[in-house]
A and B are shown apart, each in its own frame.
Chain A
C-alpha cells in the first residue's frame, strides 16, 4: 500500500513538473540546438556537429510580434511546418529587398529572412518572405558550449 501511494505521489509531481516546464518553454524561453552551418560564423563556426551551439530562444516577443531587422528568429518552414529554421530577419514589412533579378517589396505581415552564411543557406531567397505568424521565438543568447557564451545583439 505504501509503495502504491509513493509511486502515485511521484507520478503526480512529475506530471505537474512536466506541465509547468512545457508552459515555461512555450511562454517564456527555451533552449534549442542549432544544426547546420547556414548561420556561420554567428552559430556553429566549425563544421563538427558534436560542438553544435545551443541557444536561448525568448518567447516574450510573440505577444505582439514586435521584431526588428537584425533579429535572429526561429520559425516554421512555410512548406514543411514541422521543420524549424533559425535565420536572421533582413527585411521588415514595407522594406525593399534586392535579389538577383529584381527588387522585391516585403508584404505586410511578412519578413525576409536570410542565413548569415549566404553561400550555404536555404532562406527567403528560395522560399520568399515568410508570414510573421510562423515565427516561434527570438534568439537572444548562445548558452553552450561555455566558451561561446554570448549575447546576440540586434
Chain B
C-alpha cells in the first residue's frame, strides 16, 4: 500500500510539472506572437511583385501597429472587413486625412472616385492592382483591423530580404 500511493504521488507531480511547462510555453508563444512579432504565410496574386503568388513566409511585427507608427508604403497584415477569418496582406497607400483617387471598376470603365481617408483609418491597396481586393472595394480600413507590419520575406530563400517601401515614404 505504501509503494502504490507514492507511485500515484509521483505520477501526479510529474503531470503537474508537465502541465505547468506546457502552460509556460503556450503563454510565451502567445505573448511573443501577439505583442512582438509573428510569421505569416502569404499567397495569392494581389501583391506581385513584392510577394510571390505561390507563397512566401514573411515576418511581421506588432510594435509599430500598437503605437500608431505606420507610414505610407508599409506593407501590413490585416483582418479583412469583408470576412474576419481572412487575413490579407496589403500596402498602406494613404493615412487619415489623405485624398485617395481611384478607378472604381477598371474592367468596366474609367469612372473614378475620390475619397478622404477618415480619422482612425488607412487606405490599403495590393501592389498588383489588377487582381486585388482592397480599399478600392471595401473602403478605408479601420486601424483596429491592422494585425502587423511586414518586415522581411523569410522563405523561399531566394526571396529572403526586407520589404521595400516603393518610395512612398517621404
Contact = CB atoms under 8 A, between A and B. Distances in A.
Interface of A: 16, 19-20, 22-23, 26-27, 64-65, 76-81, 107-110, 131-135
A108 B143 contact: no
Which of B31, B119, B120, B121 gathers most chain A CB within 10 Å?
A: B120
Interface stretch (B4-12, B82-90, B151-159, B162-170): B82-90
B80 to A, nearest CB: 7
B64 to A, nearest CB: 14
A64 B30 CA distance: 18
B35 to A, nearest CB: 8
In the complex, which range does the number of interface residues on chain B fall in?
20 to 34
Given A20-B23, A23-B27, A79 B142 contact: yes
| Interface SS of chain A | mixed
Q: Which of B23, B28, B82, B121 has the most CB of A within 10 A?
A: B82
Interface of B: 23-24, 26-28, 30-31, 34, 79-85, 118-121, 142-145
Given A76-B144, A79-B118, A134-B144, A26 B81 contact: no
A110 B27 CA distance: 30
A20 B22 CA distance: 11
A75 B80 CA distance: 16
A27 B30 contact: yes
Given A81-B142, A133-B144, A19 B31 contact: yes
Contacts of B118: 79
